């Protein structure tokens, strides 16, 4: 039945009753009664009009939805009548629900969502961790994750349980792409086996994807474009498909476009713009070398096969292959072959890189946002309780007039559900904006993150459920207490009763809020301090006034013999840019995401295979002075350290301590590859330790070699990828000058990216910063909510005790007495909250402990500061109504009510 027909029927019933009353009254007048008496008499005779109408309406059926509609209408009217209250409640809920929905959205996208491919559950990855990037020999803990191309072919051809088995790079490669002779632009690419798209079950959106013939070295070069790239960089131009682009100096036909939403095998920021066959890998040394392990494998298991037996079979295949390939495992490691194994892990979500990276962070955020929601609920419950108490007299009147208690509870619950739904809807907006902001924070520096900030349907459902649950949780107590009103109160004057149940509840809610808030504030203090420690630590280099430019000469068709000329040109032109104090070249720069390590053989010492291989980098002259790493002894790498000269190396302190514990390293020799090379490099200097990869642990043992020196018998590796510039003033100011100088040096050389050293380092702390900022935000919100709660309860208590205070003042209490009376209650709640919250925070602190850097989870300064801030804000909040109490005029107070 429609609402409109109900209304009409209601109106008719009203009129029917009215006409009854009028006729009855008229008859009484005719019998000689006075008009007024007649009307009263008719009414008395008729009985309770509202009740008669209600019982009559009950007979109509549809009672439940009709009453619901009534409740909703009535609820809306009451809520709109107190817009301030409604706005505060909706805003509070929007923040609580929004924060949780935003975090759910990210969890859904990062941890739960499957790849947008056919039957993702059939996909399994060969390997159980995210080791990267290029390895030789046995792998960490025996679990194989990275595979050589030869091993891949062997597994692919001998494991019939897989309908397809694909290989791909674990990372994205920089590509230099030129269209019709225009300047080179940097893009991201991934080199994959030609059956990659078949394995994943992805069909072309336009054109075709890769097919097995593309794997052969003689096949014409093709590439597949990401839909997002086609849309953003090529304007969905259909003529791009089938056209030829120059990729890394080689003409390459664009075979087709992947479907929208497809981002590859790994959810990550800046996914590949192009997929190219492995045969096109510019680093030619990797593909044919059975000893170089550099590929991840993902297979599609045929239906009916369980992963466990396949895993056992793969392990056998792996061990047999390793045994039969003597060049892969060095003799001293052959005893470890039986310990090598392959573990299949479900790859429905692809390679779980983000999940691994962000799991702990997201779990922490879920906990914190749930805490925030609880605080918000407590706050709203408190507001409702206060309002319910204010409406107590009205409730009592309604009960006295015959309203059913259950009906009143339902009415109030409807009201809180309305509030919750409004809060939830507003929360969706908060969630969208929040998730968007979180993505920006989490992927600082990324130009595209394939994660949608809009909540998905399941997340939407979850947040609606959350809103409704919230509504019931914060609504049921106030509804219950309000419905307990005694009808007699209405006659007695409800304002005078003291010590009712509602106020005890309100106080406990404030205590809970204070407890939750102090826990959040302590967490915020800890992660903020930890981030500050991380960012402010001594890295072993100086980031102020430094600019890092990343280039890739290998993508512009350079061959090793032409590098010398390029390096000399760069070393000449860079220092001439106005504002540049010093410039240098290196393979890679600190904390830029790159790190190479290699086993070394020290001359005159037995090889030690147990310790981890030291890191190494190639650096040019002025490198250490440009990045601000101090020379401790000897000399740095200079202009004279060129091919043909003495092959030299500079080592860091840790390298010196590890390999030369009790002797002078200067003048000692070492080499790479094997023992016969141990005389290759002479150590000429020691520099201070600097962190290149891991920001939390100690610096790795590291050695530095000149840019181009390669001893006889060694293959050349380590092309210059970074230019470091020490500049006067802001590094960003000279970016255009640097671009111009580079273009002058070689127009085909693409600048992959350029940023201040500060920014490069800052990007290492994206997750820490995300957690710190969100926790700070949550902490601040919690603080505000707790103070609002305390203010509300105190203000309510003052209003309720106006009489009492008036009497006390009349009997001689002074301002201090009154202030003390009010504040004592507030301080008790604050103290109780702190007494519960601080131990709880300490107990929960160990969850945080392993994420903290340079600060203990029980840091007394932070604990004290958090407690102090909360106490100060809370006292301030309580003192406003307390001061009002001191101004109570006893005469006015006694007349009150």
Instruction: By CB under 8 A, name the binding residues for another protein.
Output: 12-13, 15-17, 19-20, 22-24, 26-27, 46-48, 51-53, 55-56, 58-60, 399-400, 402, 404-405, 487
Output the smallest distance, CB 53 to another protein, in A.
Answer: 8
Measure the CA dihedral 747/753/757/761, to 10°. -160
**Encoded tokens for 47:** 């009985």
Helices (H), 134-267: 149-158, 196-200, 227-234
| Strand, helix or coil for residue 64 | helix
What minimum distance in Å lies between the beta carbon of 52 and another protein? 5
Shortest distance, position 104 Cβ to another protein, whole Å: 43
Cβ 66 to another protein, closest distance in Å?
14
- Give whichever of 396 and 637 is closer to another protein, judged by the CB atom: 396
We find the least distance from the C-beta atom of residue 27 to another protein, in angstroms, to be 8
Beta bridge partners of 585: 723
Ramachandran bin of 445, using left for φ above 0, alpha for ψ from -120 to 50, beta for the remaining angles: left
Q: How far is 888 from 881, CA to CA, in rounded Å? A: 11
Pick the closer one to another protein by CB: 58 or 814. Answer: 58
In 10 A of CB 557, how many CB atoms? 14
47 or 604: whose CB is closer to another protein? Answer: 47
d(CA 789, CA 514): 9
Q: Which is nearer to another protein, 404 or 876 (CB)?
A: 404
Q: In this complex, which beta carbon is closest to another protein, that of residue 404 or of residue 632?
A: 404
Q: Nearest distance from residue 413's CB to another protein, in Å? A: 18
Q: Answer for the pair 76, 406: CB distance below 8 angstroms, yes or no.
A: no
Contact yes or no for 108/406 (Cβ under 8 A): no
Q: Quote the tokens at residue 608.
A: 């030690």
Distance of closest approach, residue 34 Cβ to another protein, in angstroms: 19
Unique residue bearing structure tokens 């962190």: 691
3-state percent breakdown (helix, strand, coil) of the chain, nearest 5: 55, 15, 30
CB of 36 to another protein, least distance (A): 19
Decide: 243 and 254 in contact? Cβ < 8 Å. Answer: yes
**In angstroms, what is the minimal distance from the CB of 894 to another protein?**
34
- Token pair recorded at residue 249: 């100096």
Q: Which helix (H) or strand (E) holds 679?
A: none
Residue 537 CA to chain centroid, in angstroms?
A: 24
Nearer to another protein, 20 or 325 (CB): 20
Q: Kindly give the residue spans of alpha helices, DSSP state H, lying in 484-500.
A: 487-492
How does DSSP classify residue 143?
B
Q: Which is nearer to another protein, 50 or 160 (CB)?
A: 50
Q: Indicate the residue among 16 and 140 with the shorter CB distance to another protein.
A: 16
Q: What are phi and psi for residue 50, nearest 5 degrees?
A: -60, -45
Label residues 198-217 b or e (16+ Cβ within 10 Å = b).
Answer: bbbbbebbbbbbbeeebbee
CA atoms within 13 A on the CB side of 735: 14
Nearer to another protein, 48 or 497 (CB): 48
Q: How do beta strands 292-293 and 135-136 pair?
A: antiparallel
Report phi then psi at 682, rounded to 5.
-105, 130
CB nearer another protein, residue 62 or residue 429: 62
Q: Compute the least distance from the CB of residue 808 to another protein, in Å.
A: 38
- Least CB distance to another protein at residue 406 (A): 8
The alpha-carbon radius of gyration of the chain (Å, integer) is 37
Q: Tell me the C-alpha distance between 13 and 53, whole Å.
A: 7
Residue 810 beta carbon to another protein: minimum distance, rounded to whole angstroms: 39
What is the pairing mode between strands 601-602 and 669-671?
antiparallel
Q: State phi, psi for 723 to the nearest 5 degrees.
A: -115, 125
CB of 385 to another protein, least distance (A): 24
Q: Coil, strand or helix: which one is 163?
A: strand
Minimum separation from the CB atom of position 485 to another protein (A): 13
Q: For residue 726, give both structure tokens.
A: 């020490």
Q: Considering beta carbons, is residue 59 or 604 the nearer one to another protein?
A: 59
The span from the CA of 251 to the CA of 94, in Å, is 54
When the beta carbons of 26 and 879 are compared against another protein, the nearer one is: 26
Tell the smallest beta-carbon distance from residue 408 to another protein (Å). Answer: 11
Comparison of 9 and 884: residue with beta carbon closer to another protein:
9
- Whole-number Cα distances in Å, 124 to 298, 307, 347: 6, 8, 5
Nearer to another protein, 39 or 108 (CB): 39
Of 62 and 285, CB closest to another protein: 62
């Amino acid at each position: 039945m429609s609402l409109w027909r109900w209304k009409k029927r209601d109106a008719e019933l009203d009129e029917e009753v009215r006409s009854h009353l009028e006729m009855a009254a008229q008859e009484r007048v005719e019998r000689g009664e006075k008009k007024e008496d007649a009307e009263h008499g008719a009414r008395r005779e008729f009985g309770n009009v509202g009740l008669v109408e209600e019982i009559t309406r009950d007979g109509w059926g549809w009672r439940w939805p009709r009453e619901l509609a009534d409740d909703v209408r009535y609820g809306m009217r009451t809520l709109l009548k107190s817009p301030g209250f409604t706005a505060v409640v909706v805003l509070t809920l929007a923040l609580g629900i929004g924060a949780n929905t935003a975090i759910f959205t990210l969890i859904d996208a990062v941890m739960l969502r499957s790849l947008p491919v056919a039957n993702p559950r059939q996909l399994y990855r060969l390997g159980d961790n995210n080791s990267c990037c290029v390895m030789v020999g046995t792998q960490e803990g025996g679990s194989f994750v990275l595979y050589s191309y030869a091993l891949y072919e062997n597994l692919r051809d001998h494991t019939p349980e897989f309908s397809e088995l694909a290989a791909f790079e674990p990372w994205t490669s920089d590509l230099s792409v030129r269209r019709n002779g225009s300047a080179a632009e940097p893009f991201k690419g991934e080199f994959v086996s030609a059956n990659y798209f078949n394995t994943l079950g992805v069909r072309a959106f336009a054109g075709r994807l890769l097919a097995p013939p593309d794997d052969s070295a003689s096949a014409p070069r093709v590439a597949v474009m990401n839909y997002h790239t086609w849309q953003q960089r090529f304007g969905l131009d259909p003529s791009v498909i089938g056209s030829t682009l120059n990729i890394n100096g080689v003409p390459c036909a664009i075979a087709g476009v992947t479907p929208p939403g497809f981002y590859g095998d790994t959810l990550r920021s800046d996914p590949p713009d192009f997929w190219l066959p492995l045969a096109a890998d510019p680093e030619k040394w990797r593909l044919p070398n059975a000893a170089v392990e550099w590929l991840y494998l993902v297979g599609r298991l045929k239906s009916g096969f369980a992963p466990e037996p396949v895993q056992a079979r793969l392990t056998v295949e792996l061990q047999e292959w390793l045994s039969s390939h003597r060049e892969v495992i060095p003799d001293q490691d052959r005893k470890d072959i039986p310990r090598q194994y392959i573990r299949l892990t479900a790859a429905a979500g692809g390679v779980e890189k983000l999940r691994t990276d962000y799991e702990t962070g997201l779990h922490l955020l879920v906990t914190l946002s749930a805490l925030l929601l609880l605080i918000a609920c407590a706050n709203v419950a408190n507001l409702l309780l206060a309002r319910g108490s204010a409406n107590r007299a009205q409730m009592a009147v309604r009960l006295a007039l015959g309203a059913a208690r259950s009906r009143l509870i339902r009415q109030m619950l409807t009201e809180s559900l309305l509030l919750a739904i409004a809060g939830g809807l507003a929360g969706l907006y908060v969630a969208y904006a929040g998730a968007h902001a979180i993505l920006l924070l989490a992927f600082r520096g990324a130009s595209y993150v394939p994660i949608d900030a809009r909540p998905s349907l399941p997340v939407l459902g979850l947040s609606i459920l959350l809103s409704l649950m919230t509504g019931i949780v914060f609504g049921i107590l106030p509804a219950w207490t309000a419905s307990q009103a005694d009808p007699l109160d209405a006659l007695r004057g409800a304002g005078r009763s003291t010590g009712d149940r509602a106020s005890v509840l309100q106080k406990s809610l404030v205590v809970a809020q204070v407890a939750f808030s102090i826990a959040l504030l302590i967490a915020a203090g800890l992660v903020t301090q930890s981030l500050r420690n991380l960012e402010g630590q001594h890295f072993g280099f100086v980031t102020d006034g430094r600019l890092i430019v990343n280039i890739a000469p290998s993508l512009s068709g350079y061959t090793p013999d032409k590098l010398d000329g390029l390096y000399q040109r760069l070393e000449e032109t860079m220092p001439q840019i106005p504002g540049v104090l010093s410039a240098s070249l290196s393979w890679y720069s600190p904390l830029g995401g790159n790190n190479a390590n290699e086993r070394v053989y020290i001359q005159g010492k037995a090889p030690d295979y147990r310790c981890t291989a030291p890191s190494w980098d190639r650096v040019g002259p002025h490198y250490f002075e440009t990045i601000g790493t101090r020379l401790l002894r000897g000399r740095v790498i200079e202009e004279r350290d060129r091919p043909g000269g003495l092959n030299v190396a500079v080592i860091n302190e840790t390298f010196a301590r590890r390999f030369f514990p009790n002797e002078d390293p200067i003048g000692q020799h070492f080499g790479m590859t094997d023992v016969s090379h141990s005389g290759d490099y002479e150590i000429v200097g020691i520099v201070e330790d600097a962190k290149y990869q891991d920001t939390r642990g100690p610096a790795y043992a590291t050695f530095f070699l000149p840019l181009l020196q390669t001893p006889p018998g060694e293959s050349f590796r380590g092309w210059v990828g970074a230019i470091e510039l020490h500049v006067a003033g802001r590094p960003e100011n000279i970016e255009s000058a640097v671009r111009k100088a580079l273009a002058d040096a070689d127009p085909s050389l693409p600048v992959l990216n350029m940023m201040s050293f500060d920014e490069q380092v800052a990007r290492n702390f994206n997750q820490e910063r995300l957690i710190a900022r969100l926790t700070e935000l949550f902490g601040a919100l919690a603080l505000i909510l707790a103070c609002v709660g305390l203010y509300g309860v105190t203000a309510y208590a003052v209003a309720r005790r106006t009489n009492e205070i008036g009497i006390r003042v009349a009997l001689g209490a002074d301002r201090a007495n009154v202030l003390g009376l009010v504040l004592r209650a507030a301080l008790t709640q604050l103290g109780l909250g702190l007494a519960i919250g601080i131990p709880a925070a300490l107990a929960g602190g160990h969850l945080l402990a392993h994420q903290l850097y340079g600060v203990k989870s029980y840091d007394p300064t932070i604990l004290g500061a958090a407690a102090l801030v909360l106490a100060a804000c809370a006292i301030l909040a309580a003192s406003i109504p307390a001061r009002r109490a001191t101004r109570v005029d006893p005469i006015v107070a006694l007349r009150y009510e």
